[in-house]
Amino acid sequence: MPTLQVRDLPEDVYIQLSYLAEKENRSLAQQTIVLLKEGMVKKLGSKERRGKLLEKIRTLDIDHSDIPDPVDLIREDRDR
């Protein structure tokens, strides 16, 4: 597993990181990984997130013949 070393980390960031790690019962390294992952998810654009989600959906083995056509459903709803 790769290692990341951060130099010149501001003291206030270190203190906040330490506080969150203790609060969540994690080590500094674990808390840093959690925060980095959360930050990257937020940073990714919604279009890219949607694309990744669609890729996951395409890999699922789903029988699409049971799924009704959305146009038919809308038309049926409007006809009521």
Separation in Å, CA 18 to CA 14, 30, 45, 61, 70: 6, 11, 29, 43, 50
- Domain ranges across the chain: 1-60
Entry pTM = 0.56
The pLDDT of residue 50 is: 86
The pLDDT of residue 19 is: 97
pLDDT tens-digit profile, the chain (80 residues):
889 899 999 999 999 999 999 999 999 999 999 999 998 888 878 778 888 888 998 888 877 778 888 999 999 999 98
